[in-house]
Each structure stands twice: as C-alpha cells, then as structure tokens.
A and B are shown apart, each in its own frame.
Chain A
C-alpha cells in the first residue's frame, strides 16, 4: 500500500489520506523547520532562548485552551486556574521533602511531576465539567471566571502549598536521567538545555493534540461546537465529549503550568489571575482558533511581544521604561497592544495568524487561478 505513485492526491489508503505529512513539500519543510529549531540554541543568546522556551510552554497551554474553546466551542476563562493547579502540583511533587514550611515530596524526575501536574489539573477539569455540560456561551464564561477567583483565593491562603502572597515557593525542579536542566552544565548552558527540553515537550504534546483533533474525538468536538443539538442528533454524546474536552484541556494547562515557572525558578500565587487567562485567549485568537499550529504561532507572538515593546523606549522617547517618570510606560503600551491586536484580529482576520498563513498557501496553491 506504500507504493509511490508520484501523485500525492492519488490516495491508495485511508492512512495516506489522513497522513499529517502527505506531500513531499510538507515533509521537506517540516524537516527544515525541525533542523532550524534544533539549531537555534547555538545561534541565539541565552536570554532570547529563555523567552523561546517560555513560548514553547505557553504553546502547550494555548493548545490546551484551543482544544476546549477552539475545537469544542466552550468558552473558558478559567485557564489560569488550571495552570495554577499544574504549577503547584509539580512544585509540590518535586519540592524539598525536608522543608517544614512547604509541602514537598522530593521527586524531581520530569515525567513524574509533569504527568502528576497534568492529571491533577485534568481531574479538576473533570470535576467542573458537569457545569460545562449544562451551560453554554456567556453563562459558561461567567462560571469559569468564578473558577479563577476561587483559585486565586485558595492559592493566596493555602500557604503550606503556595508559600503565600509576596513569598511564593520555588518552582518544579527539572531533572531527567540524572541531567539537571535548571543549572548551567559543562557543554550546555541552562537556557540551552531548557529550550531543548521545552521544544521536545512541545513537539510531543503538539503531535498528540493534532492526532486527537483529527480523529473521532476532534470531529465530535467540532460537531458540538458548530451545533450541539445537531451533534446529538447525529449520535454524538454531547455531555461525554464536553467532559473529554475539559479534561484534556485542563491536562494540557496543568502540564504548561508545571513547566511555565521552571525558567524563572519561582512561583508567585498572585500570578494566576484573570489577566493570565485573557493572555491565553489572546494567544488562540491571534494565532488561530481551532488550529494546533495557530496556537503555537499565537503563543510565540504573545510571548515575544514584551521583548519587542521593551525595545520601544529607545526608539520612541515618549514611552518610558519605568513608571513614575511621566508619559506612558512600556507595560501600558503592552496592555494597549493586546487590546488592539485582539480587536484587530477579530475584525480583520478572525482566523488569526493561521488564517493569514492559510490564505497565503491557498493563494499559491491555486496559482494561476483564484480558486
């Protein structure tokens, strides 16, 4: 069945029809992209690598949100809550067991605390999902908003777990096969190692998500999104799939939360607020709703944005880099930019960066016709 016909559209099997890399052009460019991504640590400075590593982690979180909101159509403002659960579960599992102030189990192996964080967050998602099964649209958004406030309250007051406001606790310790990722090594620096680790994890979770959404589950989710009644009529168990969407999405959020603070090495309980949720919504809106690669693009974009705005004071003198010196600060510019970008994308390119990419691709694919 693998006979090469030299005709990419002549599908001889469903496997070929469904293949992710079904044309030689796709295979080639993916290889180029992979080589480029692996070569980056040797080309960029460490501070940029840290930003990119953060972007990889944010991508995993954004993919999670895109599964429930983009594919499943369930608007969730509670992503920060699940990120928080993941972050603290991972921190607790890998934390210092001898500490009297904080909970800690001393298991620093990445796969264990990563899965732990994902599973605990997924469980939390499963617990709140019955709400989602009964609510839709705005009501669901408000309920998930409530989750963020409950979460913020718990994180601030459960000092044994989180260290409390203004104090915080060390983030999870990344260690795999005896390699410590969060310290500089002889060959690789900390930033290089972390970047590569996050890149590999992003690839793993990205491919997993892509496989999920192009299979039965993904099709069922899309059906629920487009019209839940119609989906039910064609035999999709709506409740079940909403449940799956929330659980998987929360799992991804938990994983992302666990990794997000590894770069800084420190978790502050005040960070899991509505602004964080909105940031993730911005990622998927700007990147592209209901696309995996769009989630990655959006996360890269939003994570790299502060890097760019920080350069602004040098170019535009009326923007100051710190508050109190009059004028408008970079942080304010950043917030304004978020707002403008979201408005701009929703109006002009609702399918996000991925939509732009898609349009470019279609333009060349349909050459020399228009369609």
Chain B
C-alpha cells in the first residue's frame, strides 16, 4: 500500500457520524417511508442507534477484523449496521438482495462473516439453506414477519433483541465502542465489497479506513463531484444497492462526510414515485436508470393527447438542440441556448422535471457502466447538470469525473486532484495510483498481484485514450475488445450503447470475435415495445412471442440501420437476433448490478449466435 499508516485514531464513517451527532444533533440525517409517512432520524438518533449496534456486535463477540454481512434492501438498519460495524473495527460485507442461494453461500463462506444482518424471511431462508458456514454464529433478522416463533435455528436473533443486547452491553461497558473507535487504524479493513464478477466468481475488494477516508476527502469534502461541495442542505435518494461502491458513496458517505440527508426509496419499483416526492438535489444513476427515464419521457410524450404531444414534442426537440449546445460548450449555456431554455422551462421543462422528480437536482451523475452520449445530452437539454464519472471498486471509485462547467460528453472526465492516471503505451490500459487504491482481494493474493503493480499502479482493465490531453475516454473493457477475422479491433460497448440509446432496446450484446463480421444479440424493452405493439394493433402474449414478431424484428432493424450509419464498415452490425427471454440475475445472465455477463449469455444463446453466422465459414 502506498499510504503511510497513521499512528492511531483514524477518522472513519463512525467518527464522522458521531461528530455530526455532536455538532448538529437535531438536523435530519435519514428519512424512510413507513406506512405512507417519511419517518425522520436525526443525526443524534442515527449515531445513537449505530452505537447501539456497535455494542450489540461487541456483545455477540465481534473482534477487530471480523466480518459482518448485511443482506438487505436499502434501509436505515443498513447504515446503522455499516456505521456500527466500522465503529467496532470490523468490516461490512454487503450482499445484493437479489443474490440467489448459491451466491449467498459463496459470499458468506468466502468472507467468513460471523454475524449476518438479514432483512426478512426471504433473506433468512437463503442463509439458512446454506449448510457449511462454520464462521456464521448469528443471523439477526430485521422484519420478524414469518420468522418469529416459526424458525428454531439457534443462530436467529430478532433486531429489537439484538438492540436490547447492545443496550445491556452499553450499560455494562459504556465506553467499549468509543474505546474501539479510538484504536482504529488506517489499515483496518472497513468493508469488503464483492465485485459483481462479469467473469468468474465475485472477488472481495478490501477497502481500508484510509481508502474510505481518502475517497470521502477527495470526492465529498473537496468537492470532487459537485460544485459547491455537498452540504446538509442537499438530499439524496438511496435506491441502488448499498453493497455497490457507488451507492455507498452517494448515500452512506455523502451522509457521513457532508451531512447530506438520505432518503430511502421504498423499492426499486417505486423509484419514480419516490423521486417525485423527495426531489433530491444530488442524484446518481447507472446508465440503465437514465436510459429508462429517457425512454419513459419519449413514450409518454408520444402517447399524450395531440396538444400536449405537439407542445411536448416541440420542446423535446429544442432540448435536443440545447443538449448539443451544452455538450459543445462543456456544459455551459450560450446566450441563445439560455434564452430558449428559459422559455422552454416555462412551457415544459419545469413541469417535466417536477414530474420526474428531477426539479431540484443540482448535480446528476452517471457511472458504473458506459452510457451513450445521446442519453447524457438528452438530460442536459432538459436542464439537468449531467456528469459522467468513472471509478471502480478497486480504487474506491476515485479516478476521473466530468467537473461542472468542464464537461466533455463521451469522456469520463478529468482525473481528480492528487490522483495519478496514465495509459499504458503498449496495451492502452488505464492505470491509476492514489491512496484510495484497495488493500487487495480478500483471500486472493494472486489476483491482487495481478492488478496492483509493486510501485502502486492499479490496472483498471479498461482501455482508454486522452481527449484534448485533459479528459479521459474509455474505449471498452480490455477483455471485451473484439478482434474480427479481418484483424480489426472493435470496441463492442460503444456499438451496444448506441443501440441501447433507443427506447426499444434494453440489452445489446455485440459478438464477432474471430468472425468475418459483427452480429448482435438484442433484447427488446418490453414496456416500450409492448406499447408500440399496442399502437400498431399487434396482439402478443409473452416476451418471447413479442420478440418473434416479424414487425418487431423490422422495428429493431430500423434501429440497427440508424446506428450502423454512424460507424465504419467493419464496426457495423450485419446481423442480429432478438433474445427470446428477459435476461435475469437468477439465471446467471446478469450480475447483481444488472450488468451483462457476456460469456454466460453467448453460451446460453450459442445456437442464436451460430444461426447468424450460418453458412459463413470461419
């Protein structure tokens, strides 16, 4: 590691929450909707419960360096547990709520978690179904429904009982948690973040207290993303899985580091409603979310009554133009675009943004996967300060970001201050070096040695290039680069994202490695294509049936043709097949973060791939 271990007492998220509880006890830290009402938790209440969780963990025998797993949707208990765990110098391991039993088993076994905080019966069932977990001594369940008085697993413990245990421990040893916090050191592993693993099983990224501290200082306190830096006046909606580093930053660390008020969405299905209610000021989304919102706007304007369709359509076209102007000016308005926007704001954009819950957003970001520039421009045109950012779990998500006012669409922005980024001359791979570089993969020194150079440089596995010497453009994942039979290097993600920018396309997978031409497996977006089919009086039953309709294939063909025009001949998709089913995490086709597992998909649809190259000798 490049960091010099601080002597003692490291600033962690626990000390930060505690300091906020002292400095501004009554400010609101968390809000969660319960029976229709947003229940509020002050910083005082946040720290009080988190400390109680810390005592509870001590009572359960958690020692420094132990792991505490959390298997839950985003909710207050997630953050209480995270902060409480860090306070007692243990490491938090987040499990995706969608993880199937086999993966839960692997993660619990591999991490060696001693205590599991499980949200409800569903998650408890998954853990109980796994046999061989020698390290797991306690399973704390948050929602008692269906569990209490029905399960007799001796490891089970209800959340209130767990807190009562903590209360008892606090009375017996009032200083125990504080003492642990004072002992915390820079190289304490505070969290294991399992990377989604588009190849092979997930690997546990060890982030230390120093890593997290660097990320908080760099991204939040020094305003690495937002300008001005976030403050208690900001609010965020927590809706992406907290086990992912991006959401951990935007809801966990934005809260602890800057006092931002965190609102928990009820579920991923209610995000649209919750956004409308909460109207956050800072919003992070993965490309899939932004694509879905953009497609929703287009479909809903098209299906509005004639007057609204005419007016809405008119202003959406103006927004395209405004977006182009903004993109050309680094995100800054020209006098003309500002004037057009002001009129459009009155007629359309204000109401539209309010409906989408984006009206108060002062900083919007997309990351975690590549996004099509059209989608970014669409939101910029609506007046949303949109920024693409780049980082990965292994560097605590600190690498580059488009800074407000210096946006270059199509790039992932400039390196943060104090962050070294270079591109390997021979391979084109992006390397980063800074104090946020992770401590290694959990129990996997070989893999660690494979990505961290002895001199501290981290291999990101992404291929990129510099644009104008300041901004970084990512070409693709290194291992995804396709080399056609003609010897041309093609970056599939660019083509895929251009395809996915269409509201009708949900998934796209370009294949063609060692083949004569490129072909694509395409998954249609059921909502929008279903709506389109309705408009065209096209009856259908299932997703598979809809995908097989010649009219739908023709529709996708027009999208493919439009995209092909923008690419060189070798990069054009000559053939495609529609996927007969929605890709799913459970079937191993998507990762927990809904990223496509290329090899899994090409394997399960090998016959479709072959049919595209039928009659085409290799």
Residues of A bordering B, CB below 8 Å: 3, 6-7, 9-14, 17, 366-370
B538 in contact (CB, < 8 A): no
The digit string for B289-325, where 1 denotes a CB below 8 A from any CB of A, is 0000000000011011100100110010000000000
Q: Does B469 contact A (CB under 8 A)?
A: no
Q: Write out the residue numbers on chain A whose beta carbons fall within 8 Å of the beta carbon of B351.
A: 367-368
Beyond A7-B278, A13-B37, A367-B348, list 10 extra A-B contacts (CB 8 Å): A7-B277, A10-B38, A10-B279, A11-B277, A12-B31, A368-B311, A368-B315, A368-B352, A369-B312, A370-B304
Residue pair A12, B40 in contact (C-beta under 8 Å): yes
A6 to B31, CA, bound (A): 15
A3 to chain B, nearest CB (A): 7
Given contacts A3-B28, A368-B348, A368-B351, contact A10 B277 (CB under 8 A): yes
User: Which secondary structure characterizes the binding site on chain A?
Assistant: loop
A367-B278 in contact (CB<8A): no
- Within 8 Å by CB of A368, from B31, B276, B277, B308, lies B308
Given A3-B28, A17-B37, A369:B277 Cβ within 8 A:
no
Known: A11-B37, A12-B40, A13-B37. A369 touches B304 (CB 8 A): yes
* Contact status of A9 and B276, CB under 8 A, knowing A368-B311, A368-B348: yes
Cβ B276 vs Cβ A369 within 8 A:
no
A interface footprint on B10-42 (CB within 8 Å = 1, 0 otherwise): 000000000000000000100100001110100
Contacts of A368 in B (CB 8 A): 301, 304, 308, 311-312, 315, 348, 351-352, 355
Shortest CB distance A17–B (Å): 7
Bound-state Cα–Cα, A17 to B33, Å: 13
11 contacts between A and B (CB under 8 A): A7-B277, A7-B360, A10-B278, A11-B37, A12-B31, A12-B38, A13-B37, A14-B36, A368-B308, A369-B300, A369-B355
- Which A-chain residue is minimally distant from B299 (CB atoms)? A369
- In order of increasing CB-CB distance, the 7 nearest A-B pairs are A368-B312, A370-B304, A9-B277, A369-B300, A367-B351, A7-B279, A368-B348
Cα separation A192 to B28 with both chains bound (whole Å):
51
Q: How far is the CA of A109 from the CA of B387 in the complex (A)?
A: 71
CA distance A200 to B277 in the complex (A): 36
B303 to A370, Cβ gap below 8 A?
yes
For B269-288 the 0/1 string (1 means CB < 8 A from A) is: 00000001111000000000
Q: Mark B347-386, 1 if CB is under 8 A from A, else 0.
A: 0100110010000100000000000000000000000000
> A364's closest neighbor in chain B, by CB?
B351
Give A13 to B301 CA distance when docked, in angstroms: 34
Q: Is the CB–CB distance between B301 and A369 below 8 Å?
A: yes
Give Cα A7–Cα B348 distance, bound, in whole angstroms: 20
Residues of B contacting A11 with CB < 8 Å?
A: 36-38, 277
In the complex, what residue of chain A is closest to B296 when comparing beta carbons? A369
Bound CA–CA A75/B375 (angstroms): 57
- Residues on B with C-beta less than 8 A from A9 are 276-277
User: From B314, which residue of chain A is reached at the shortest CB distance?
Assistant: A368
CA distance A213 to B420 in the complex (A): 66
Give how many B residues have a beta carbon under 8 Å from the other chain's beta carbons. 24
Known A3-B28, A10-B278, A368-B312; judge A17-B304 contact (CB<8 A). Answer: no
Which residues from chain A contact B28 at a C-beta distance below 8 Å? 3
A363, chain B: closest CB distance, angstroms? 8
CA distance A295 to B300 in the complex (A): 35
B308 pairs with A369, CB closer than 8 A: yes
Closest-CB distance, B350 to chain A (whole angstroms): 9
What is the CB-to-nearest-CB distance from A9 to chain B, in angstroms, rounded to a whole number?
4
CA distance A370 to B303 in the complex (A): 7
Residues of A within 8 A of B31 (CB): 10, 12
Which residues of B lie under 8 Å from residue A7 when comparing CB positions? 277-279, 360
Q: B37, B300, B315, B348: which contacts A370 (Cβ < 8 A)? A: B300
- Measured between beta carbons, the chain B residues less than 8 angstroms from A3 are 28
Q: Which residue of B lies closest to A1 (CB)?
A: B40
Contact residues of B with A, CB < 8 Å? 28, 31, 36-38, 40, 276-279, 300-301, 303-305, 308, 311-312, 315, 348, 351-352, 355, 360
- Distance, CA A76 to CA B301, complexed state (A): 45
B124 to chain A, nearest CB (A): 31
In whole angstroms, how far apart are the Cα atoms of A13 and B39 in the complex?
8
Q: Nearest CB to that of B311 among chain A residues?
A: A368
Q: A303 to B305, alpha carbons, bound, how many Å?
A: 36
Q: How far is the CA of A11 from the CA of B35 in the complex (A)?
A: 11
Contacts of B312 in A (CB 8 A): 368-369
CA distance A3 to B348 in the complex (A): 30
By a CB distance below 8 angstroms, the chain A residues around B348 are: 367-368
Instruction: Give chain B nearest CB distance to A365 CB in angstroms.
Output: 9
Q: Are B301 and A17 in contact (CB under 8 A)?
A: no
Cα A309 to Cα B327 with chains together (Å): 63
Q: How far is the CA of A6 from the CA of B279 in the complex (A)?
A: 9
Question: What's the Cα separation between A117 and B206 when bound, in Å?
Answer: 80
Cα separation A369 to B276 with both chains bound (whole Å): 14
Chain B residues with CB under 8 A of A366: 355
- Return chain A residues, CB-CB under 8 Å to B304: 368-370
Bound together, the chains give a CA A9 to CA B277 distance in angstroms of 5
A14 and B279: CB pair below 8 A?
A: no
Chain A residues near B352 (CB, 8 Å)?
Answer: 368
Contacts of A17 in B (CB 8 A): 36-37
Q: Which residues of A contact B315 (CB under 8 A)?
A: 368
A370→B305 contact, CB < 8 A: yes
Chain B residues closer than 8 Å to A369, beta-carbon distance: 300-301, 304, 308, 312, 355
Complex: chain B residue closest to A368, CB-CB: B312
The closest CB in chain A to the CB of B39 belongs to A12
Name which of B37, B351, B355 has the most chain A CB atoms within 10 A of its CB: B37
- Chain A residues within 8 Å of B38, by CB: 10-12
Q: A370 CA to B306 CA in the complex, in Å?
A: 10
Q: A201 to nearest B CB, angstroms?
A: 35
B280 and chain A: residue at smallest CB distance: A7
Q: In whole Å, how far is A371's beta carbon from the nearest beta carbon of chain B? A: 8
Identity of the chain B residue whose Cβ is nearest the Cβ of A366 in the assembled complex: B355
* B375 CB to nearest chain A CB (Å): 19
Nearest CB in chain A to that of B307: its residue: A363
Residues of B within 8 A of A367 (CB): 308, 348, 351
Considering only CB atoms, which chain A residue lies closest to B313 in the complex? A368
> Shortest Cβ distance from A253 into chain B, in angstroms?
36
List of A residues within 8 angstroms of B37 by Cβ: 11-14, 17
Q: How far is the CA of A14 from the CA of B37 in the complex (A)?
A: 7
Closest chain A residue, CB of each to CB of B261: A5
Q: How far is the CB of A110 from chain B (nearest CB, A)?
A: 42
Q: Which residues of A contact B305 (CB under 8 A)?
A: 370
Please give, as numbers and ranges, the residues of chain B lying within 8 Å of A370 by CB-CB distance.
Answer: 300, 303-305, 308
- Cβ contacts under 8 Å, B311 to chain A: 368
CA distance A206 to B277 in the complex (A): 30
Nearest Cβ on chain A to B195's Cβ, whole angstroms:
35
Neighbouring B residues of A14 by C-beta, 8 Å: 36-37
- By beta carbon, the residue of chain B nearest A14 is B37
Chain A nearest Cβ from B515, distance in angstroms? 44
Q: How far is the CA of A13 from the CA of B31 in the complex (A)?
A: 12
Closest to A367 in B: B351
Q: How distant is the Cα of A204 from the Cα of B576 in the complex, in angstroms?
A: 70
User: How far, in Å, is B512 (CB) from chain A's closest CB?
Assistant: 40
Complex interface: chain A residues within 8 A of B276 (CB): 9
The docked-state distance in angstroms from the alpha carbon of A368 to that of B312 is 6
Residue of A whose beta carbon sits closest to that of B348: A368
Alpha-carbon distance A366/B276, docked complex (angstroms) = 12
| B431 → A minimal CB distance (Å) | 43
Cβ contacts under 8 Å, B301 to chain A: 368-369
A11, A12, A370 pick with most chain B CB within 10 angstroms: A370
Report how far A366 CA is from B304 CA in the complex, Å: 10
Q: In the complex, what residues of A have CB within 8 A of residue B277's CB?
A: 7, 9-11
Q: How far is the CB of A47 from chain B (nearest CB, A)?
A: 41
A6 contact set on B, CB distance < 8 A: 279, 360
A128 CA to B312 CA, complexed, in Å: 56
A234 to chain B minimum Cβ distance, whole angstroms, is: 19
Separation of A13 and B35 alpha carbons in the complex (Å)? 10
Q: Taking the nearest CB of chain A, how far is it from the CB of B313, in angstroms?
A: 9
